[in-house]
């Protein structure tokens, strides 16, 4: 205990030094800190490796050093963390001496006992009542081979957040780690066990502690009052909400304990579920967690596990996921622990790395380089160095806040996602693809940000559930001249998932009124597409047509894209402030950075999964800004150097044809 007290005292001193270092940093905009500018590399941590870690960090440009000695996720150090705490303290000191930041990995609700088959003591042997269980009583205990990180002979357990004695020790370990002066506590996999084989439909956990907590909150017996998997059952929906709330509160308690001893230390959960149904099933919802966390690291691989496996449509799916995370974050940083290459023989790993980093920085997220599907190493250190050097040189432009100019809004409804995941996500994904491929400025809105929306066009992609507050906003929005695009059953259900006798959105807009299409088109306040073009765009044949590069008005993807553009531009008369003319294989985010209009461009044209990882250069890309003859256009090619371009000036607009767009670029007007 004396050793731990010394470490805590040293940590307070280091904390003061860290705070002083943050105040001296000149890169951050108001409200930003070091987490917004990280260029991450992962490292196994022990006292004898710190010099090697720092040497590698300095050589390759890592800023934000991930280290891993996992105190809580290994049973021996969960019981006695002294040796690992000393290593964390030394790592923090070394990072700070070099003007860097370091954070340390700990497991969330998982714990491994090494060689448990040969020892009389293990987590489960000692504490079987702390472990999560299926409703049939089967404990969440696994052996070697269940996952790649579980070695033969090891015991892997998943723990109930309501195991009081475990949670008490866990939070003590969190405080001890934060007190070392480390800059971040990185919490991996705070999940309900529903992602190993045979557990996917378990909706765990039904251990005695969790069942008792649910009974205390709701009065319901989880063992017999629920119809598992049946969203029409009100009691099951309470179970869904309870599971999400539980893990959100668990992370909030970790953050409270971190900040109690080290206010400058960041709390960073790593979450693999993205924005879809898997978040509900596992119980870790990044939308909810972003409220209290300092940042979130997303182990996100939508559209293909590695960058080398993605076709163009997969890249758009990946991009829209990241844009959604950035909307959830509300100005906080988003770290991307995604994977570039894992032995795909037809792709050069350097190209896969460049494509992955491109997509992430153009979405405003932070790049984490790792080898294969682990957290550490690199597939190519010289390429890491090249990428990190370019990011560092342009970090203000990439990571200062991106603010809306004149966007078309699209609404993400967590309530609809929770209870109607399949329908909502199919529509949302498709609508985001159509927005991106139309090159329109967009703003993703949530219940937390809806009231801040200043645009005059808002898309509801099969948002079946609307609350009274949301309905009140839409009523005021329409009265103020705003225009809506509704698809599917938007507005048909209330917060309790009850089908309403009259859809209040339909009543508001007069959808049932006997007006001809011509009458509505004359002064459209809305467009109603019950068939939902977003869902249609997700059809396999449509996506295959897009990936194959099928051209012409009859191509399935082109039909939907043309109809969408007509709806937005002609019928709803949306007029963007900044326009982009490029192929639908270019993704763009349009936003204001430091008061200047910017475009963040990523080119996925010509890419082919596992075969082609160098995009075809895009010719003739044209951008039009509002501006004058004094305005100048800047062009920063990805991994290149800035160019100043001359444009054509007329009628308060500046039109510029860009140089060939290779992988991507940032373009802005001054």
Please report, in angstroms and rounded to a whole number, the separation of the first and last CA atoms in the chain. Answer: 59
pLDDT tens-digit series, residues 589-628: 999 999 999 999 999 999 999 999 999 999 999 999 999 9
Q: Is 603 helix (H, G, I), strand (E, B) or coil?
A: strand
DSSP calls for 60-122: HT-BSEEEE--STTBHHHHH--HHHHHHHHHHHHHHHHTT--EEEEEESSEEEETTGGG-S--
* Separation CA 472–CA 482 (nearest Å): 13
Q: Is the pLDDT of residue 5 over 90?
A: no
Mean pLDDT of 437-447: 98
- Answer for the pair 261, 175: CB distance below 8 angstroms, yes or no: yes
Mean pLDDT of 34-38: 98
Q: Is the pLDDT of residue 3 over 60?
A: no
Percent of the chain with pLDDT over 90: 89
- Answer for the pair 179, 131: CB distance below 8 angstroms, yes or no: no
> In degrees rounded to 5, what are phi and psi of residue 139?
-80, 155
Q: pLDDT band at residue 8, thresholds of 50, 70 and 90?
A: very low
pLDDT value of position 252: 98
Mean pLDDT of 466-487: 96
The CA dihedral of 168, 174, 177, 183, to the nearest 10 degrees, is -170
Its pTM stands at 0.94
pLDDT value of position 304: 87
Q: pLDDT band at residue 355, thresholds of 50, 70 and 90?
A: very high
Residues paired with residue 636 on neighbouring β-strands, in sequence order: 666
Distance of CA 517 to the CA centre of its chain: 40
pLDDT value of position 10: 40
Give the largest Cα separation in the chain, rounded: 82
pLDDT value of position 513: 65
Rg over alpha carbons for the chain, rounded to the nearest Å, is 26
pLDDT tens-digit series, residues 271-312: 998 999 999 999 999 999 999 999 999 999 988 899 999 999
* Separation CA 631–CA 508 (nearest Å): 44
pLDDT tens-digit series, residues 529-566: 999 999 999 888 899 999 999 888 889 999 999 999 99
DSSP calls for 241-286: HHHHHHHHHHHHHHHHHHHHH-TT-EEEEEE---SSHHHHHH---H
Q: Is the pLDDT of residue 492 over 70?
A: yes
Distance of CA 583 to the CA centre of its chain: 26
pLDDT tens-digit series, residues 318-344: 999 999 999 999 999 999 999 999 999
């Amino acid at each position: 205990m004396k050793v731990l007290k010394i470490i805590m005292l040293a940590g307070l001193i280091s904390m003061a030094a860290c705070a002083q270092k943050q105040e001296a940093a000149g890169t951050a905009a108001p409200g930003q800190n070091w987490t917004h500018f990280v260029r991450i590399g992962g490292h196994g941590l022990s006292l004898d490796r710190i010099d090697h870690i720092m040497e590698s960090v300095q050589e390759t440009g890592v800023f934000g050093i991930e280290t891993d000695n996992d105190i809580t996720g290994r049973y021996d150090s969960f019981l006695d963390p002294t040796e690992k705490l000393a290593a964390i303290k030394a790592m923090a000191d070394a990072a700070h001496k070099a003007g860097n930041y370091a954070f340390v990995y700990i497991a969330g609700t998982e714990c491994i006992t090494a060689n448990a088959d040969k020892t009389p003591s293990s987590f489960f042997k000692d504490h079987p009542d702390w472990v999560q269980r299926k409703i049939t009583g089967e404990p969440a205990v696994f052996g070697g081979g269940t996952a790649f990180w579980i070695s033969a002979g090891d015991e892997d357990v998943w723990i109930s957040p309501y195991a009081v004695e475990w949670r008490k020790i866990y939070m003590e370990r969190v405080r001890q780690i934060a007190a070392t002066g480390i800059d971040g506590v990185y919490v991996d996999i705070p999940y309900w066990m529903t992602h190993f084989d045979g557990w996917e439909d378990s909706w765990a956990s039904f251990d005695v502690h969790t069942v008792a907590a649910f009974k205390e909150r709701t009065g319901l017996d989880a063992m017999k009052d629920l119809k598992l998997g049946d969203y029409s059952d009100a009691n099951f929906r309470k179970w869904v909400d309870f599971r999400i709330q539980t893990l959100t509160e668990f992370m909030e308690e970790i953050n409270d304990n971190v900040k109690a001893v080290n206010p400058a230390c960041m709390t960073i959960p790593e979450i693999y579920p993205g924005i879809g149904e898997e978040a509900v099933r596992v119980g870790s919802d990044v939308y909810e967690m972003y409220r209290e966390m300092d940042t979130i690291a997303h182990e996100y691989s939508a559209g293909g596990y590695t960058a080398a496996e993605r076709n163009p449509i997969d890249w758009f799916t990946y991009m829209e996921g990241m844009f959604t995370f950035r909307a959830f974050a509300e100005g906080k940083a988003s770290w991307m622990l995604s994977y570039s290459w894992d032995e795909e023989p037809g792709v050069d790993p350097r190209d896969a790395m460049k494509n992955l980093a491109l997509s992430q920085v153009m979405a405003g997220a932070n790049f984490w380089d790792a080898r294969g599907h682990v957290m550490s190493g690199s597939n190519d250190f010289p390429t890491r160095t090249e990428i990190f050097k370019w990011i560092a040189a342009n970090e203000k432009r990439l990571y200062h806040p991106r603010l809306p100019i004149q966007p078309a809004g699209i609404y993400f409804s967590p309530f609809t996602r929770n209870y109607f995941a399949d329908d909502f996500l199919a529509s949302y994904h498709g609508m985001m693809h159509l927005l991106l491929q139309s090159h329109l400025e967009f703003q993703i809105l949530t219940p937390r940000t809806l009231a801040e929306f200043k645009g005059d066009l808002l898309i509801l992609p099969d948002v079946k559930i609307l609350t009274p507050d949301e309905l009140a906003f839409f009523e005021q929005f329409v009265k103020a001249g705003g225009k809506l695009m509704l698809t599917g059953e938007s507005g048909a259900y209330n917060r309790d998932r009850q089908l309403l006798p009259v859809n209040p959105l339909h009543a508001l807009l007069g959808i049932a009124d006997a007006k001809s299409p011509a009458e509505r088109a004359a002064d459209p306040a809305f467009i109603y597409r019950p068939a939902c073009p977003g869902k249609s765009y997700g059809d396999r044949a449509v996506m295959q047509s897009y990936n194959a590069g099928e051209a012409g008005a009859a191509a399935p993807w082109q039909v939907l894209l043309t109809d969408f553009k007509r709806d937005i531009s002609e019928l709803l008369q949306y007029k963007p402030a900044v326009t982009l003319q490029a192929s639908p294989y270019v993704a763009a985010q349009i936003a204001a950075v430091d008061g200047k209009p910017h475009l963040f461009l990523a080119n996925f044209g010509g890419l082919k999964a596992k075969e082609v990882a160098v995009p075809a250069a895009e010719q003739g890309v044209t951008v039009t800004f509002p501006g004058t003859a004094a305005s100048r256009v800047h062009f920063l090619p990805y991994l290149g150097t800035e160019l100043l371009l001359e444009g054509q000036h007329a009628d308060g607009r500046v039109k510029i044809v860009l140089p060939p767009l290779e992988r991507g670029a940032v373009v802005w007007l001054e």
